[in-house]
Amino acid sequence: MGKHENAHIVWDWNGTLFHDNDAIIGATNAASAELGLAPITLEQYRALYCVPVPKFYERLMGRLPTDAEWEVMDVIFHRYYAEHRGLCGLTDGAAELLAGWIAAGRSQSLLSMYTHDELVPLVRGFGIEPHFIRVEGRVGPSGGSKAEHMVRHLRSLGDVRPGRTVVIGDAADDAVAAQAVGAKAVLYTGGSHGRASLEQVGVPVVDSLAEAVEEAERLVA
């Protein structure tokens, strides 16, 4: 274990370990169509996406959705996503990287803003659940920041030290969540944000999960 003893990664799921961009864009366009909005491309999504999610739709619409509109859009989004996520798979190399991190004597967990009851069987179906000491999805309303969930997640991990923890995700909000607990962050360009928006956050930005793990190793060295 050496200098990496007690090093821990908190992985994001959607857009990071799970390559679900097609399902996300399709679900976003299905929800937006409810309000008569034109479909957007992945590049447009990456340029506009932000958390909390209603702010993202404000960028699309020119105004915040009403509570009633948000409820309808949220239902449509999750229904479409649930119907199409089965066509998506793990990001290239993800399973091998997870196994390698554990084999080196380190620990890792998974924290997602995807609903917990849907997340766990999905992770289990890929056969990677044993690589994590905890798999945790969102419980409660959608659309908020990951920061408060990260605080509870780290507390639940017992001996995991925030200063020896690296959050790997695809969104600026992952870095915000890391900062909330005193952890480090590495952001991956393959998901919801483009490189330009991620680089504004001030943490390392990489183009592959292999690079993300290498950067995590450097940060906890």
The answer to whether residue 207 scores a pLDDT higher than 90 is yes
The pLDDT mean for the chain works out to: 94
Q: Residues 28-75: pLDDT tens digits?
A: 999 999 989 999 999 999 999 988 888 899 999 999 999 999 999 999
> What is the distance between the terminal CA atoms of the chain, rounded to a whole angstrom?
11
Q: Mean of the pLDDT values across residues 109-138?
A: 97
DSSP state of 14: B
Least confident of 1-5, 23-27, 120-124, 130-134: 1-5
Q: How would DSSP label each residue in 179-202? A: HHHT-EEEEETTSSS-HHHHHTTS
The answer to whether residue 27 scores a pLDDT higher than 50 is yes
What are the C-alpha distances in Å from 122 to residues 33, 146, 160? 27, 20, 25
Q: Residues 169-190: pLDDT tens digits?
A: 999 999 999 999 999 999 999 9
Q: Residues 133-170: pLDDT tens digits?
A: 999 999 888 767 899 999 999 999 999 999 999 999 99
What are the C-alpha distances in Å from 219 to residues 7, 18, 74, 81, 157? 10, 24, 37, 35, 20
Which residue's entry shows tokens 């944000």?
193
Which residue's entry shows tokens 């289990």?
124
Give the Cα separation of 169 and 217 in Å (integer): 15
Give the Cα separation of 13 and 9 in Å (integer): 12
More confident residue, 4 or 106: 106
Residues facing residue 169 across a β-bridge: 187
Q: For residue 199, what pLDDT is reported?
A: 95
> Residue 1 — very low, low, confident or very high, per pLDDT cuts 50/70/90?
very low
Structure tokens at 54: 């209603």
The answer to whether residue 3 scores a pLDDT higher than 60 is no
Strands 8-11 and 135-138: unpaired
